[in-house]
């Protein structure tokens, strides 16, 4: 990897590709646009480091902030951190700004452990493969130490989408900001927006949920956002179902994804900022697609494009952003035969060829039988002899003939 001297605050580490290291990048003042993969420690920055627009994938710790306290404010901005055990690990820091980062499918999105009096501001994060904040992490934010009574962590204007849970005690975290900035977007929030005001008790919607969002324990987001914060860039997520993989790309927040293979239906919710356009592009393996495809948007059919890409069927469509329920049915009607995988296709062809050969041999046999002349049937045996007796008057024969007849 790359190791910079601790005093090299002005050293720039830019546009490097690093993989399979113990330390990918250690130290440096400006760390930008690097690709780090399969390392124990992806990027280790000091308190003054500016860590921007890096891709960190499949590391034990994605980005680590460590070192002595420093009066200068450091920042993490626009990084993509994917498939790590700890996405961002913060150790004993003073002020640090964490903004617009994408944390996707990590065990812990942000892991905080501290023993000093510190202040963090965690704001405007978007965590996903395609820059869409805390997405599908097991735990969004975890605080290890209980000895943080003088620590204030402001967490607002983030998008939390399909995560396992978010963690933070009330005295440790402030999960909302004052109106009209509001709190965070939660993909599983089920509240409504009919009121406004500091206590959300005045008539009229304001884009903030009327009831707080319960995070864990006593921690709540007082002003949960009804829509994702900002315009979401496109994200790509893979869903594994048995031996198949369905790949979905969208610039919407995707939640509650389900696939019913028996009924041939994929369903999910999409949501984005009102007044913007959204799209979905989904690849479904040919081996599970049977018959026609239909896309329902809030229960009504919509137009879509369908094409074949390698072993997948690609389905894509566009829409106006709000919150919508999408169903993709890929077993509709009877006009198209089921698609076969390569292995099943070979079995099908071999079976069909065998049946065709058997049918051909049977046809030849029957034809041969029809062309052989039949043998002549033997004549029936003659009937047994029979006799006809005619009465003859004895007056008309001689005496000699009478004697012969009587003897007979």
In whole angstroms, give the CA distance from residue 141 to residue 128. 15
What are the residues whose beta carbons fall under 8 Å from the beta carbon of 116, sequence distance 6 or more?
A: 69, 92, 93, 94
* Percentage of residues of the chain with pLDDT beyond 70: 74
Higher pLDDT, 281 or 12: 281
Whether residue 206 has pLDDT greater than 50 = yes
Please give the pLDDT value at position 241.
Answer: 84
Whether residue 137 has pLDDT greater than 50 = yes
| 25-81 per-position pLDDT tens digit | 988 788 999 999 999 999 998 767 889 999 999 999 999 987 665 545 578 889 999
Q: What is the mean pLDDT of residues 244-262?
A: 91
- 22-36, 134-148, 231-245, 364-378: segment of lowest average pLDDT: 364-378
Whether residue 152 has pLDDT greater than 90 = no
Where residue 326 falls among pLDDT bands split at 50, 70, 90? very high
Where residue 133 falls among pLDDT bands split at 50, 70, 90? confident
Whether residue 150 has pLDDT greater than 70 = no
In whole angstroms, give the CA distance from residue 212 to residue 325. 24
Burial of 199 (0-12, 13-18, 19+ CB in 10 A): exposed
The Cβ-side half-sphere exposure at 117, using a 13 Å CA radius, reads 1
Averaged pLDDT of the chain: 80
Whether residue 296 has pLDDT greater than 90 = yes
Asked whether the whole model's pTM tops 0.85, one would answer: no
Q: What is the mean pLDDT of residues 271-295?
A: 91
Helix (H), strand (E), coil (C) string for the chain: CEECCCCCCCCEEECCEEECCCEEEECCCEEECCEEECCCEEEEEECCCEEECCEEECCCEEEEEECCCCCCCEEEECCEEECCCEEEEEECCCCEEEECCEEECCCEEEEEECCCCCEEEEECCCCCCCCCCEECCCEEEEECCCCCCCCEEEEECCEEECCCECCCCCCCEECCCCCCCCCCEECCCCCCCCEECCCCCEECCCCECCCCEEEECCEEECCCECCCCCCCCCEEEEEEECCEEEEEEECCEEEEEEEECCCCEEEEEEECCCCCEEEEEEEEEHHHCCCEEEEEECCEECCCEEEEECCEEEEEEEEECCEEEEEEEEEECCCCCCCCCHHHHHHHHHHHHHHHHHHHHHHHHHHHHHHCCCCCCCCCCCCCCCCCCCCCCHHHCCHHHHHHHHHC
Please give the pLDDT value at position 261.
Answer: 87
Report all structural domains of the chain as residue ranges with CATH numbers, in order of start: 2-221 (no CATH), 235-332 (2.60.40)
Are 224 and 157 in contact by the 8 Å Cβ rule? The answer is no
Where residue 364 falls among pLDDT bands split at 50, 70, 90? confident
Please give the pLDDT value at position 130.
Answer: 31
Please give the pLDDT value at position 126.
Answer: 39
| 167-186 per-position pLDDT tens digit | 766 556 777 777 788 889 99
Higher pLDDT, 308 or 145: 308
Whether residue 332 has pLDDT greater than 90 = no
């Amino acid at each position: 990897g790359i190791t910079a001297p601790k005093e090299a605050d002005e050293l720039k580490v830019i546009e490097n590709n690093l993989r399979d290291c113990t330390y990918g990048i250690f130290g440096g003042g400006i760390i930008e646009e690097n690709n780090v993969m399969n390392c124990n420690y992806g990027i280790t920055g000091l308190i003054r480091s500016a860590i921007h627009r890096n891709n960190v994938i499949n590391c034990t710790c994605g980005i680590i902030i460590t070192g002595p306290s420093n009066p200068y404010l450091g920042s993490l901005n626009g990084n993509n951190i994917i498939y790590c055990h700890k996405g961002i690990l913060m150790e004993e820091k003073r002020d640090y700004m964490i903004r617009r980062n994408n944390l996707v499918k990590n065990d812990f999105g942000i892991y905080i452990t501290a023993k000093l009096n510190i202040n963090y501001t965690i704001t405007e994060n978007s965590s996903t493969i395609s820059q869409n904040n805390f997405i599908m992490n097991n735990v969004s934010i975890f605080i290890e130490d209980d000895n943080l009574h003088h620590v204030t962590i402001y967490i607002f204007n983030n998008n939390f989408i399909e995560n396992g849970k978010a963690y933070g005690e009330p005295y440790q975290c402030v999960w909302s900001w004052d109106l009209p900035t509001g709190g965070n977007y939660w993909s599983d929030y089920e509240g409504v927006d009919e009121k406004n005001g500091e206590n959300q008790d005045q008539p009229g919607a304001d884009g903030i949920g009327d009831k707080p969002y319960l995070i864990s324990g006593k921690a709540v987001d007082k002003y949960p956002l009804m829509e994702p914060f900002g315009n979401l860039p496109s994200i790509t997520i893979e869903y594994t179902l048995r031996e198949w993989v369905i790949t979905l790309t969208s610039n919407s927040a995707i939640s509650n994804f389900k696939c019913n293979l028996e009924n041939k239906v994929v369903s999910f919710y999409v949501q984005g900022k009102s007044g913007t356009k959204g799209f979905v592009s989904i690849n479904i393996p040919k081996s599970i697609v049977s018959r026609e495809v239909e896309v329902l948007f809030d229960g009504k059919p919509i137009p879509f494009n369908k094409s074949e890409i390698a072993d997948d069927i690609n389905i894509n469509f566009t829409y106006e952003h709000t919150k919508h329920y999408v169903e993709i049915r890929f077993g509709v009607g009877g006009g198209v035969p089921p698609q076969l995988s390569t292995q099943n296709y070979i079995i099908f062809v071999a079976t069909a060829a065998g049946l065709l050969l058997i049918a051909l041999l049977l046809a030849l046999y029957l034809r041969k039988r029809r062309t052989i002349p039949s043998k002549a049937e033997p004549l029936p045996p003659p009937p047994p002899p029979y006799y006809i007796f005619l009465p003859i008057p004895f007056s008309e024969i001689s005496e000699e003939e009478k004697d012969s007849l009587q003897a007979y």
